[in-house]
Amino acid sequence: MGGRTTKKVAAARSTTTNAPPKLLSGGNPQIPKGDGDAPVQAYLAAMPGWKRDVGRRLDTLIERTVPGVRKAVKWNSPFYGVVGRGWFLSFHCFNKYVKVTFFRGTSLRPLPPGPSKTPDTRYLDIREDDAIDDALVASWIRQAAALPGWEP
């Protein structure tokens, strides 16, 4: 029994190094699930290249638009929500773009451009050279935060 415990402790130590997060398919950072700003900031810091700037810009825009926004990392993506109302937005890195998910996007006006197989969801794909309309994105964020959100 002592040998098993020693192996478990050694395995736990080897997974708690200061190594940078692994980048998954599309350059999406593999960040452990966690609630609060710290895991989201770890995700943003690990986003590769130009995607990091997009992620930080989105995070700042969300914080400005929804004071007291709830944050978490789930399924290797940052999630944003309102306490008692669920999650209204998430984003994820892909090879050539950052996909912003509005969980109740079909209720937003104007409608975000990306369709989904999920009835209520709409997407906004941001590519490296895209101009981001902060006023429009903030409007979608404001609208989305006021709706009942998604609960996993």
Encoded tokens for 14: 């080897």
How far apart CA 148 and CA 5 sit, in angstroms, is 46
* Assigned domain for 104 exists: yes
Domain region containing 115: 22-146
* Assigned domain for 100 exists: yes
Q: How many domains does the chain have?
A: 1
Give per-residue pLDDT as tens, 10-50.
333 334 456 778 888 778 899 999 999 999 999 999 999 99
Q: What is the pLDDT of residue 17?
A: 52
CATH number at residue 134: 3.90.1150.200
* Assigned domain for 87 exists: yes
The model carries a pTM of 0.86
Report which of 113, 77, 112, 80 is spatially closest to residue 92, judged by C-alpha positions.
Answer: 77
* Assigned domain for 1 exists: no
Give per-residue pLDDT as tens, 38-92.
999 999 999 999 999 999 999 999 999 999 999 999 999 999 999 999 999 999 9
> Hunting for tokens 């692994």 — which residue is that?
22
* Assigned domain for 141 exists: yes
* Assigned domain for 15 exists: no
* Assigned domain for 11 exists: no
* Assigned domain for 36 exists: yes
